[in-house]
Structure 1
């Protein structure tokens, strides 16, 4: 199921529907039994966007998985969005992990970092 879910997301991305692709890839959906899929989204707006593409996704999954009883339930989890917010220190430390030369660049040009 997850493979077909990701395939559909990539197909949308290739067509230029990047927002829908990111909503589908925001986290892994959970399969409950053999017919119910649940997905958590960060807010009501993303739920509305998801609902607009839900019929196409269901058609894709039902056809490729040969299971026409599949349903998708959307759960809005506002706390999910808060986990992803980063402050300046988190961003700087993450960039520093990716490329330690950022510290050399900062000191060479005398840049300030407000940590």
Structure 2
């Protein structure tokens, strides 16, 4: 299911539908029986997602050969976005993953 979810997101990206792609990739959905549970950070995201939900459900039903699939959207206001948007955010995120990055940056006197 997750593979087809990501393929659909890539298809949206190729068609220039970046908002819906970002909403799909904001986190991994969870499967509960035949219901896909997807968390979004706010009501505005939920409204945007609802606009493309019908096409997504049709795609997944066809690819997974299961016509009982449905998507439930859960709004979680406390959800943290894992995306880094500025160079400083990216550097901080990568530095959390690998603290040796700061040593490399200082050794070669690099900017981020």
TM range (shorter): 0.7 to 0.9
Correspondence for 2:71: 72
Which has more helix, going by share of residues?
1
Query: What RMSD over aligned residues (CA atoms) do the two structures have, in Å?
Result: 2.7
Residues 99 and 53 of structure 1, relative CA distance in 2, 3 Å threshold: farther
After superposition, give the CA deviation of every residue in 1:57-108 in whole Å (9 maximum; x if it has no partner): 0000000111111110000000004x6598xxx83544663893368246xx
Residues 85 and 26 of structure 1, relative CA distance in 2, 3 Å threshold: closer
Q: Does 1:101 align with 2:105?
A: yes
Give secondary structure in 2 for the equivalent of 1:31. strand
Give the count of matched residue pairs: 101
After superposition, give the CA deviation of every residue in 1:17-59 in whole Å (9 maximum; x if it has no partner): 11111110111111111x1110000111111110000000000
**Structure 1: 4+ residue segments shifted above 6 A:** none
For structure 2, which runs of at least 5 residues remain unmatched after alignment? 96-100
Give secondary structure in 1 for the equivalent of 2:78. helix
Q: Does 1:45 align with 2:44?
A: yes
Residues 67 and 79 of structure 1, relative CA distance in 2, 3 Å threshold: same
Larger radius of gyration: 1
Correspondence for 1:13: 13
Mapped contact 1:95–1:102 kept (Cα < 8 A): no
